[in-house]
Amino acid sequence: MKKKKKFLSSVEPYLWLLPSMLLMAIFILVPIFEVFRISLSQVTRSGLIKGFTGLDNFEKVLKGSTFSMVLQNTLVWTVVVVGLSTLIGFILALVLNNQFRGRKLARAVVVFPWATSLIIQAGVWKFIIDTDYGALNTLLIRLGILQSAANWTPTPAAYFAWECWVGIFVTIPFVTFCVLSGLQSIDSSFYEAATVDGATFWQQLFRITLPLVKPSLTVSTVLNIIYVFNSFPIIWTITKGDPANRTDTLVTYLYKLAFYKGKSGEAAAVSVIGFLILCACASVYMVVSLRREGNDE
């Protein structure tokens, strides 16, 4: 009897975890497994798996020059969007952390891009930058800044830059709110003491603010790297990765491979590569957060 009770109490936590684990196992773990399996298999256009082919799919993907361009785009996309949105979001948080009239309203406005579906946000920006009837041209002409309609997207690179801008635009709020939550937990006596000691604004920023909001900033940066790396709707809506893959990132590229070209095997190989890159990020995050937990104890 006693033994049974002991057994029960040792299993109990796992029973509490069971529904959650089942849900994640079926709809996340199995797909992960499937992606790996497909990447190593020969797949017909209709989706039938025909058997193990080793690294054939990877070879096919890596062979052309397309993949290296797509990978480069993904890298630029992730670094530019996460980097700039973190910088701007951080500055915005510093501004919003001040006491001023209308602060609540300003904070509410910052929430907007976060709450809006990416597909809608991307649709609006596609309209704004259009050369023929876009809202940006209309606005600048009516304000007298431009004489005639400008072509905002003369090259694929220009399109890509605009896509990065939309990415930054929608990512800023998350950074701002993470940093704001960090800022609010800082005891104002730190600043009072620093002011008494004659510390300048920059000294206060680098010696007090930055070290103390570092945990929030780490969380937001790591999560954003994952979200932005995997972001699909913005590029899909504005250019679909065209012309000729010039604005493709890994996810739009693999989507086209899988669902337009019927090359599931190669698409899965791209998935796995994207996967491994994210795994590297994940392990960095784990090391950082575990070390922090270790410091807490």
CA distance 136 to 145: 11
Based on the shown chain and the rule CB under 8 A, indicate whether residue 7 belongs to the binding site for other proteins. Answer: no
CA distance 246 to 154: 13
Bridge partners of 294, per DSSP, are none
Kindly report each contact of residues 239-243 with a partner whose C-beta sits within 8 Å and lies 24 or more positions away, as own/partner: 239/156, 239/159, 239/160, 239/163, 243/156
Residue ranges in 213-242 that form contacts with other proteins under rule CB under 8 A: 215-216, 219, 223, 226-227, 230, 232-233, 236
Residue ranges in 8-37 that form contacts with other proteins under rule CB under 8 A: 10, 12-14, 16-17, 19-24, 26-28, 30-35
Based on the shown chain and the rule CB under 8 A, indicate whether residue 193 belongs to the binding site for other proteins. Answer: no
Q: Which is nearer to other proteins, 4 or 101 (CB)?
A: 101
Cα 96 to chain centroid, rounded: 23
Nearest distance from C-beta of residue 193 to other proteins, angstroms: 15
Phi, psi for residue 150 in degrees, rounded to 5: -95, 150
Residue ranges in 113-142 that form contacts with other proteins under rule CB under 8 A: 113-121, 123-125, 127-128, 132-133, 135, 137-139, 141-142
Q: Are 203 and 194 in contact (CB under 8 A)?
A: yes
Residue 287 token pair: 């090391």
Nearest distance from C-beta of residue 95 to other proteins, angstroms: 6
Residue ranges in 36-75 that form contacts with other proteins under rule CB under 8 A: 38, 47
| Contact stretch for other proteins (CB under 8 A) within 61-69, 70-78, 153-161, 268-276 | 268-276
Residue 202 Cα distances to 191, 207, 209, angstroms: 12, 8, 10
Q: Are 177 and 94 in contact (CB under 8 A)?
A: no
Based on the shown chain and the rule CB under 8 A, indicate whether residue 279 belongs to the binding site for other proteins. Answer: yes
Binding mask 153-192 for other proteins (x = CB under 8 A): ----------------x-------xx-xxx--x--x----
